[in-house]
Amino acid sequence: MSKTLRLTEKWMRRGLWLVAIVFAGFLIGLGGTLVGDLPKVEKQLSLDDFMDRAASTALRNGIKNADRAAQEADDALAQAQLKRQVAQADTRAARETFNNWLATRRATQLSDQDAELLARTRALDALKDRERTAGAAVEVEQQAALDARQRAAHERRRLAEMEQAAQQALNAERRRVELRVFLYRLALTLPLLVLAGWLLMKKRKTTWWPFVWGFIFFALFAFFVELVPYLPSYGGYVRYVVGIVVTVLVGRQAIVSLNRYLERQKLAEQLPDAQRREELSYDTALARLSKGVCPGCERPVDLKNPEIDFCPHCGIGLFDHCQACSRRKSAFAKFCHACGASGERPRLPPATVGGPA
């Protein structure tokens, strides 16, 4: 068709397609912003929302206290161990002195030193006692540290169990939220697609076609491209199923129109020549002629052959002779290319036929 359009019209038409694309672009931008803002409708969930707050706080405090107690027990243990070491060293030293003294006493055999023997033995026993006490203190601190550690481990296990249960609840809730957000988006974009389909069927040839096409592009983009990053795992099904439905509808429409066109064409080819010529628009006829096909039946004809005046397929007149100058000219031309006389014979009275000779 574009070959026969007036130059300005051609450029205007391109400009209008640009308008359609720009319109679609702005709509897509607006839609994208809207869809992107949707998750803010839902509040962000965290693990704490699914745990008994009092219980979890108690557990966390318990862990903190047990950790602190373990640390304190460790410190005390270090002190106690040091004390025990001192006591052990003292005992060792005292025993050595005692043994030396004993050896000397055996050598000298002095029986008046029995009282001192008793005193020294008692002193040694006292040191031994002190060592044992220090050892007991060490054991107490070891026990305390172990208790605190086990308590902390126990509390940690309980907290982990609680968190695991909460995590499951959180995951389930996230899936629900995901589904809800997806449904919001579907509820926004699917009607757009339906509206676009209606516009495509009913309004694509109206004066406002650039806006119609802009809207159709936008609706397709919004549904098949913009929805994708927000699709849950099963969202693909929705997209493909809708895609299949849309394709089937469009395909069905195309098949129906093709059959209707063939039907119309068959009927048209049975009409008388003049009526068929009248029903063809000037632009359509020129467009078909420029492609080397018959304007009536759209089958190829050799238009360059000066012998051919009628379509051999449907019989429509392709060339006739000017009534003013009798030159052979296209039957669809409005004016004679040789003398400028109007070519629309049947509708014009002979008086007006004529022109600048």
Residues at the site binding Zn ion, with contacts judged by CB under 5 A: 294, 296-297, 311, 313-314, 322, 324-325, 336, 338-339, 341
Minimum distance, C-beta of residue 348 to Zn ion, in the bound complex (Å): 14
Tokens 């030159």, residue located: 327
CA distance 153 to 162: 14
Distances (CA, A) of 312 to 22, 262, 284, 287, 303: 47, 18, 20, 19, 11
Minimum distance, C-beta of residue 261 to Zn ion, in the bound complex (Å): 15
Q: How long is the chain?
A: 357
Of 27 and 289, which CB lies nearer to Zn ion in the complex structure? 289
In the chain, at which residue ranges do the beta strands (DSSP E only) sit?
A: 319-321, 328-330
Distances (CA, A) of 349 to 289, 317, 331: 27, 21, 18
Is residue 98 a contact partner of residue 124, using CB atoms and an 8 Å limit?
yes
CA distance 220 to 20: 14
Of 185 and 329, which CB lies nearer to Zn ion in the complex structure? 329
Of 102 and 338, which CB lies nearer to Zn ion in the complex structure? 338
Minimum distance, C-beta of residue 291 to Zn ion, in the bound complex (Å): 13
**3-class SS at 305?**
coil
CB contact set of 273 (below 8 Å; sequence gap of 6+): 315, 316, 317
Of 229 and 349, which CB lies nearer to Zn ion in the complex structure? 349
Minimum distance, C-beta of residue 293 to Zn ion, in the bound complex (Å): 8
Q: What is the b/e burial string over 3-32, where b = at least 16 CB atoms within 10 angstroms of the residue's CB?
A: ebeeeeeeeeeeebeeebeebbeebbeebe
Of 242 and 271, which CB lies nearer to Zn ion in the complex structure? 271
Minimum distance, C-beta of residue 264 to Zn ion, in the bound complex (Å): 14
Q: Residue 235 carries which DSSP code?
A: H
Minimum distance, C-beta of residue 329 to Zn ion, in the bound complex (Å): 7
Of 17 and 335, which CB lies nearer to Zn ion in the complex structure? 335
Of 58 and 303, which CB lies nearer to Zn ion in the complex structure? 303
Of 144 and 280, which CB lies nearer to Zn ion in the complex structure? 280
Copy the structure tokens of residue 79. Answer: 């002190």
Minimum distance, C-beta of residue 352 to Zn ion, in the bound complex (Å): 14
Is residue 89 a contact partner of residue 164, using CB atoms and an 8 Å limit?
no
Minimum distance, C-beta of residue 280 to Zn ion, in the bound complex (Å): 11
